[in-house]
A and B are shown apart, each in its own frame.
Chain A
Amino acid sequence: MKEKDMPKVDFITSIVLIVFSIAVIVMSLQMPRFEYRGANPWSVPGIVPGILGVSIGLMGIALLVRSIKRKGHNLGISKEKLIDWLHKPASIRLLLTILLTLIYAWGLIGSMPYILATFLFITVFIIIFEYNRKEKRQKKTKKMIVAIMIGLIAAAAVSALFQYAFMIRLP
Chain B
Amino acid sequence: MFDGLMMFLQSLAGFMKPMTLFNVLWATQLGIIIGMLPGLTATMGVALLTTLTFKLPAGEAILILICNYVGAIYGGSRSAILLNIPGTPANAATAVDGHPLAQQGLAGRAIGIATTGSFLGSVVGIFCLAVFTPLIGNFALNFQSFEFFTLAIFGVVICGNLTAPKDPIKGWIAGFLGLFVAMIGMEGIHAHIRFSFGNVNLAGGIDLIPAMVGVFGFSEIIMVMKNQKLQVVNTKITRIIPKLREVLRYWKTIIRSGIIGVFVGAIPGVGEDIGAWVSYDFAKNASKEPEKFGKGSYEGLISAECGNNAACGGTIIPVLSLGIPGSAPAAVLMAAMFIHGVRPGPLIMVENPEFVFQTVAMVLLATVAMFVLGLSMVKWLVKVLQVPREKLMPIIFVLCVIGAFALESNLFDVTIMVVFGLLGFLMKEMDYPVAPLVLGIILGDILDKNLRRALIVSEGNILQIFNRPISLVIIALTILTMLSKTSWFRNFWSATKKGAVSLIKK
Contacts and interface: CB of A to CB of B under 8 A. Distances in A.
Interface stretch (B360-368, B388-396, B496-504): B388-396
A45 B401 contact: no
B224 to A, nearest CB: 9
Interface stretch (B6-14, B326-334, B403-411): B403-411
Contacts of A85: none
Contacts, number: 155
Contact of A49 (B195, B391, B399): B195
A121 B394 contact: yes
Interface residues of A, number: 65
B414 A171 contact: yes
A126 B389 CA distance: 9
B172 A45 contact: no
A162 B183 contact: no
B455 A42 contact: yes
Contact of A101 (B183, B189, B397, B447): B397
B187 A45 contact: yes
A118 B431 contact: no
Contacts of A43: 189-190, 452, 455-456
A110 to B, nearest CB: 6
Interface string A41-57: 11111111101110110
Contacts of B430: 1, 6, 9-10, 13
Interface stretch (B173-181, B341-349, B466-474): B173-181
B204 interface: no
B448 A48 contact: yes
A122 B394 contact: yes
A67 to B, nearest CB: 11
Contacts of A59: 169, 172-173, 176
Contacts of A32: 190, 192
B377 interface: no
Contacts of A150: 391, 395
A48 B454 CA distance: 12
A170 B406 CA distance: 8
B369 interface: no
A17 B401 CA distance: 29
Range, interface on chain B: 35 or more
A52 B180 contact: yes
B452 A42 contact: yes
A94 B226 contact: yes
Contacts of B406: 162, 166, 168
A152 interface: no
B171 to A, nearest CB: 10
Nearest to B409: A169
A56 B398 contact: no
Nearest to A147: B391
A125 to B, nearest CB: 4
Contacts of B298: none
Contacts of B177: 56
B414 A109 contact: yes
B176 A52 contact: yes
A101 B187 CA distance: 33
B225 A94 contact: yes
Interface in B379-393: 388, 390-391, 393
A162 to B, nearest CB: 6
Given A125-B394, A166-B406, A45 B52 contact: no
B415 interface: yes
Contacts of B455: 42-43, 47
B222 interface: yes
B249 interface: no
B194 A49 contact: yes
Nearest to B194: A45
Nearest to B52: A166
A150 B227 CA distance: 23
Interface of A: 1, 6, 9-10, 13, 17, 24, 27, 31-32, 34, 37, 39-49, 51-53, 55-56, 59-60, 62-63, 66, 90, 93-94, 96-98, 100-102, 104-106, 109-110, 118, 121-122, 125-126, 129-130, 150, 154-155, 158, 162, 166-171
Closest 4 CB pairs of A and B: A42-B455, A125-B394, A129-B390, A45-B192
Given A1-B431, A98-B222, A109-B414, 13 more contacts: A10-B430, A45-B190, A49-B183, A55-B176, A56-B180, A63-B173, A101-B222, A104-B397, A109-B411, A125-B390, A126-B394, A166-B53, A170-B402
7 contacts: A43-B189, A43-B190, A45-B189, A48-B448, A97-B225, A97-B393, A125-B393
